[in-house]
Amino acid sequence: MSELFVDLNAICNLAIKETEELIKLGFDISDPCIVTPLGWYGNKHSEIAEHCNEALLELIDKQSASTPAFVGPGYYDSDLHYF
């Protein structure tokens, strides 16, 4: 019986690309309510969890540097009139 081979590097690279797509679509990946592909795959495969977490933190830093609107708390007093 042959063993199932899982290419964890390919999974991590795919998760990075999928998470970058979320950024391009305008999602704030630092929002704790969002489960990113990096978070999901990292949780599913403990062998790559640390690498996925590091990649996610780098993408969050990159997104916050390029889009300052995502930095800080999600709601401001001036936004309350929308509720």
Q: Is residue 50 part of a domain?
A: yes
Q: Is residue 82 part of a domain?
A: no
Q: Is residue 38 part of a domain?
A: yes
Q: What is the pLDDT of residue 83?
A: 44
Q: Is residue 75 part of a domain?
A: no
Residue 15 has pLDDT above 60, yes or no: yes
Residue, of 70 and 58, whose pLDDT is higher: 58
Query: Diameter of the chain by CA atoms?
Result: 63
Residue 39 has pLDDT above 70, yes or no: yes
Q: How many domains does the chain have?
A: 1
Confidence band, pLDDT 50/70/90 cuts, at residue 7: confident
Q: Is residue 81 part of a domain?
A: no
Q: Is residue 80 part of a domain?
A: no
Q: Is residue 27 part of a domain?
A: yes
Q: Is the dihedral of CA 23, 41, 30, 57 positive or negative?
A: negative
Confidence band, pLDDT 50/70/90 cuts, at residue 77: low
Q: Is residue 52 part of a domain?
A: yes
Q: What is the pLDDT of residue 35?
A: 93
